[in-house]
Amino acid sequence: MNKIFKVIWSHATQTFVVVSELTRSKSKAKASVSDVKKSGVSSLITSGFKLSAISSLLISAMPSVYAAVAISSTGWNTVDTSNVQATGNGIAIGSNAGKQQSDGYTSNNSAEATRNAYHLQNIGGSASNNTISLGTNAYAGGEDSVAIGTRAQAVHNVQTTNMAYNSRGSYNAGAVAIGFQSIARGDQTVALGSRAAAYNRQATAIGNDSYAMGVGSVVIGGDDSGYAYESINGTGKQAWANNSGNLGYTNLATGFNPSKEPNKADYRPSAASGNGATVVGVHSQALSKGSTALGVAATAGDGGKISSTIKDGQIVGIDSTQNIEATAIGALAHAQFRNTTAVGHAAKAIGEYSTSIGDDAAANGKNSSAVGKSATANGEFAIAIGNAESNNVEGTKTQANGTRAIAIGTSAKSLANNTISIGSKANTSIEGAVALGANSESNRQLNAAETTNPYVPATANQSEANAIKATVATTGAVSIGKDGVRRQITNLAAGTADTDAVNVAQLKTAVDTWNVQENGSQKKVINNRDNVNFANGTGTTATVGVDSAGKSAIVKYSVNQSGLNVATDGKVTAVTNGNNFATAEQIADAINKSEKTTVVNGNTEITATPKVNGTVTTYDLALSEKTVNDIKQGTTALQEIETTADGVKAQTIKKDSNKANFTSGKNIKLTPSDKGIEVATKDDVDFTTVNATTVNGDTIKSGNVVINKNGINAGNQKITNVAKGTEDSDAVNYSHLNCQTKCNDFLK
């Protein structure tokens, strides 16, 4: 077979065509090319003719010739250009290549075009300049556009709002569609892959069943990952197709009816519908402006909505201008609303401005953050950082459920608003509570007695108690442990305000010791928890009580009292013996009741001469000369005299000594002289009881009895208990006088 070809001018099509070198040229008067053998592309390849060689030949020929090249086929080894359309330096190779057809792909009203949103816009029924259409029904409809592949279409963009940029005066200048049923619709769009579609200006779709619908969007992916969804996490196939709720497979604008495909639930196309959206990964979708999806089945900016229909290059029901700038990175990662970020396998960022990082991490609240395996932040502004202990146990997840809650640590949980849990398994459940450290818990209720009734020391006064009560808790407690888990707080600075914590150094200063002194002399140091005993003293009784509030101790010392009895003879005695005291009132009353008067009367035998020395009055008693002589005479015959005091034997005076000794007593001063023995009270005296109503200067007065510098006025009362006198100046008593006669008779 002849394998040498040549290029000739076809008058019928006004284009260059490739024919065998044996084909005869027609005369200029004839335009028929019926003798040209028809040879399709497939037959050329079968015959060893390479498409690359043809392309090289055509391209090399075009600069020197302003003409179009059209090659088609109507049978084996035959060439026919009647169904091929190439104009303006264009190239069209393939059955019906380079022209809009009437087989359901050329009309906006056809059932196939409506179903698949595959709309072609007729701009004159012919291709533009410098186009290349290679393949059955391939059509390049804009200047410098390329369509390679069966039904590949570089078609016009009917969305006029997206066609402001038109550098070459056409609807899709520079568009490139390569692949079976690929679509490049818009200026400088690129669709590479079977059923790949680039719907907007400078959009790029690379991969089978990939869709780039936003201006400048980029998709690298497909709809078949090579393994079923259940191989990833064990769920059903339908969950794979509808993961996160967004663009499914059915009724996509691919020019192909996927409903006829078996197991369509196993498929989910890669798609970028927002301007500037980027998708890299099979099944991944970025469905809003500026969104990014990287990884198997990653989803960004879907807003939680579901759609399975594309019309005019847009997903029906999902507004690509909402939920913008979402980012999902990782297999099954899902960033749902605006400015969300999900990084990691099955990571989910649902709330606006939320961030999740880690396997199965979930940031569900607005402005929330979840970092770590299965970490969950449900509250607004919540933060959860930490890994779950188990893949299958819900309770082991790190959770921040409350608004502004923070949970940091494996299985840490902050379940109420404004709570903080830091540490493995740290847990807070009361608003505002804080749990610090592994296994710490803060769950004390705000209305509990432990919170509302603070401890007030018994030594606190009312002002101090009020200050303590004014500092009760107003939010959750801070816990550094729990029952069975105790921690020290170390390196704590000394507190200054009422609500500051104090350290041990301050505590030692406050309650370590206190001193006990006696009249200014140090007696004892009392340590913390030592006992102080208040004992009875001499004449006193100690009592310790508690005030009505039960907070203060009261110590009292009472004087032991005793009443006074006054006998008829004026003798005063105590009712109770021992160390007891009488009141001034009792003493005065006893004196008044005694009414005893001391009278010192002189006579011819005894004279009483008072001598006053300050407050002391001394009575000098003297015997008459006759009495003295009588006594002298009596002593000659007297062998001995026994003296007594109050009936008690005292000194015995014998005739060989003939001396009587007087001794000073308590408060009594004896002064011997040649005149006698002066008996007086000492200047410094110590009385247990003084019965007197008036002691004033030089006067002692009790009732009618007066003793002063002028003498003693007995007030018509007896002077009792007067001892017998021995000297001339001594006072004599009644018995002494009564026996004078008897004594004289005895001496005679």
pLDDT for the residue numbered 339: 94
Domain annotation covers residue 593: no
pLDDT 10s digits, 129-181: 788 889 988 988 878 889 999 988 887 654 444 433 333 334 568 899 999 99
Residue range 526-544: mean pLDDT, rounded: 82
Evaluate if residue 212 carries a pLDDT over 80.
Answer: yes
Domain annotation covers residue 625: yes
Residue at which a domain ends, from 436, 461, 483: 483
Look up residue 267 and give its amino acid. Answer: Y
Q: Check residues 327 and 69 and name the one with the higher pLDDT.
A: 327
Q: State the DSSP code for 588.
A: H
Look up residue 439 and give its amino acid. Answer: N
Evaluate if residue 81 carries a pLDDT over 60.
Answer: no
pLDDT for the residue numbered 248: 43
| C-beta separation of 88 from 129 below 8 A | yes
Residue range 591-597: mean pLDDT, rounded: 64
pLDDT 10s digits, 383-403: 999 988 876 666 788 999 999
Domain annotation covers residue 217: no
Residue range 202-219: mean pLDDT, rounded: 92
Euclidean distance between CA atoms 140 and 255, whole angstroms: 16
Domain annotation covers residue 388: yes
Residue range 297-326: mean pLDDT, rounded: 80
Q: Which of 55-64, 325-334, 456-465 has the lowest mean pLDDT?
A: 55-64
Evaluate if residue 444 carries a pLDDT over 50.
Answer: yes
How far CA 197 is from CA of 189, 242, 295, 465, in Å, comes to 9, 21, 20, 79
pLDDT 10s digits, 228-256: 444 344 443 333 333 433 444 333 333 33
Evaluate if residue 545 carries a pLDDT over 80.
Answer: yes
479 shares its domain with 610 = no
pLDDT for the residue numbered 647: 78
Euclidean distance between CA atoms 299 and 296, whole angstroms: 9
pLDDT 10s digits, 482-523: 899 999 888 999 988 888 888 888 887 776 677 888 888 888
Query: pTM for this one?
Result: 0.58
**Mean pLDDT, all residues of the chain:** 74
Which residues are paired to 706 by β-bridges? Answer: 701, 713
| C-beta separation of 397 from 410 below 8 A | no
pLDDT band at 100 (very low <50, low <70, confident <90, very high): low
| C-beta separation of 300 from 271 below 8 A | no
Nearest C-alpha neighbor of 13 from the set 97, 76, 112: 97
pLDDT 10s digits, 711-731: 888 888 888 888 877 887 777
- CATH classification of the domain holding 355: 2.150.10.10
Residue range 207-215: mean pLDDT, rounded: 90
pLDDT band at 226 (very low <50, low <70, confident <90, very high): low
Nearest C-alpha neighbor of 741 from the set 641, 630, 643: 630
743 shares its domain with 610 = yes
* Number of structural domains in the chain: 2
Evaluate if residue 458 carries a pLDDT over 70.
Answer: yes
Sign of CA dihedral 77, 83, 84, 88: positive
pLDDT band at 591 (very low <50, low <70, confident <90, very high): confident
Euclidean distance between CA atoms 511 and 531, whole angstroms: 14
Nearest C-alpha neighbor of 383 from the set 406, 356, 365: 406
Q: Check residues 256 and 294 and name the one with the higher pLDDT.
A: 294
Q: Check residues 326 and 39 and name the one with the higher pLDDT.
A: 326
- Going through 84-144 in order, the beta strands assigned E by DSSP cover 91-93, 132-134, 139-140
pLDDT for the residue numbered 21: 57
Domain containing 419 equals 350-450+475-483
Domain annotation covers residue 360: yes
Residue at which a domain ends, from 464, 483, 502: 483
Q: Which of 354-368, 417-431, 454-468 has the lowest mean pLDDT?
A: 454-468
pLDDT 10s digits, 688-711: 776 666 666 677 777 788 888 788
Evaluate if residue 614 carries a pLDDT over 60.
Answer: yes
Domain annotation covers residue 63: no
Domain annotation covers residue 658: no
Tokens of 486: 């105790």
Domain annotation covers residue 633: yes
| C-beta separation of 33 from 11 below 8 A | yes
Nearest C-alpha neighbor of 140 from the set 189, 103, 102: 189
